Structure 1
Amino acid sequence: MAPHRRHPHRRRRPVLVPVSLLVTVAGLATAAALGGLEEAPDPAPKRLGKGDVFDQARIRTKFEDAVVLPGGRDGVGIQGQRWLHVRLQVTNQSDETVQAFGMVDRTIPTVRADGKTIKSPDQNFTDGPRIVMYVNERSYNQIHPGVTAPVTMAFELSPTDPPPKKVELDVGRFHLFESFFWEVSEWQIESDTVPAGETPDNKARSVTRVHAKVELPVRVEEGS
């Protein structure tokens, strides 16, 4: 049987190529010609205020209030002192019990009162704020899965200085790191690496990535 021959005058059927694909290819070619592709800049931190809620993956935090109270209130300090209380409502969104102190301390690395830093990542444990979960006149630290608990960051104030008018909080977020090779997963704070040349001690370090900035007005209760 003789082989089938293509008719010499038969037109080939056109191949349809989506316009979007052509545009994408053209864009990539242009970017390559101009020196390659650049990463999109990180979005600016969200601006939040009193009563706002921020989802941090492992936990969710509501920023309720900032108030100056005398020592001895809500399980913080003793009489004769003044304390700035930053009140939060923290919900455990994971399937494991978490520690209130660790969650708040790690996800809120920096706090400023009227522009002055009163909490920083470099602070010693003894110089940092008191972080307490005070319920029914008892102190707790564990937050079970699905539970929302009141957590307070408390800063001792000078007895003579005027109280601050506002506080500002830098807020980070967790992400779930999964290793397919080791078949394990763990929660980690999202962070960025600061090069050695940009740190005071010329040592590279990891810093919490700030996803939200929260500003709270400070009120003063009588007797404070």
Structure 2
Amino acid sequence: MNTAVILAAGKGTRMNMGINKLYLNIKGRPLLARTLDVFFACSSIHEIVLVIGEDEEELCREKIICNMEHNKPLKLVIGGKERQDSVYNGIKSADKGSELILIHDGARPFVTQAMIEESIKEAKLHKAVAVGMPVKDTIKQVDGNGFILNTPDRSGLWIAQTPQTFTLDTIVQAYELSYREKAAATDDAMLVERMGLRVRMIKGSYDNIKITTPEDMALAEEILESGRVGNV
């Protein structure tokens, strides 16, 4: 059994729209609904845990859930103060019989079934998998005053995306350790890395963007119009 934990509890303040960006429409369909469509359509996902803001349950049911066909269990879970808290709430709500947990940003609607399937396949072999893409630009590390410290070799640098997929035991242990040691991380793979486990990186897509700003919304419409993704 494989459970997808979809994160939708962020406030999206950089969008400046007065509403959680996940409920905004992209070409007539809410961003979050587009993300969920892919996971509902994937036969290798058996349960979906949707983590939402504490004051958004009614909004979510009205704009998203009531307008979707549910062909597998869907649980609504209230998020926490920080992203890590929201993820952990989602993990704890997953079916105890789950073999794998796929953690995905609700703001990445252009995930594909192929990415999900490949993540599951690799996680069964390696226990921990992250989707990403090689960096295309030269990266500079700078100090607090804006001066360049060094230029890392970009041949080994990747942009981290989601889904990130782990065996249930692995991700639970990683989160329990992070809480004991009060360790913060910007993604879930970092917490697994801290345990000394290797995380397998597989290719996602440059279209698998996280929608954060109004400019990203415009780019999302372009991606849909291009026909490069199948969840139009």
TM-score range, shorter chain: under 0.3
Larger radius of gyration: 1
Structure with more of its chain in helix, by fraction: 2
Structure with more of its chain in strand, by fraction: 1
Q: TM-score, normalised by structure 2?
A: 0.24
Q: TM-score, normalised by structure 1?
A: 0.24
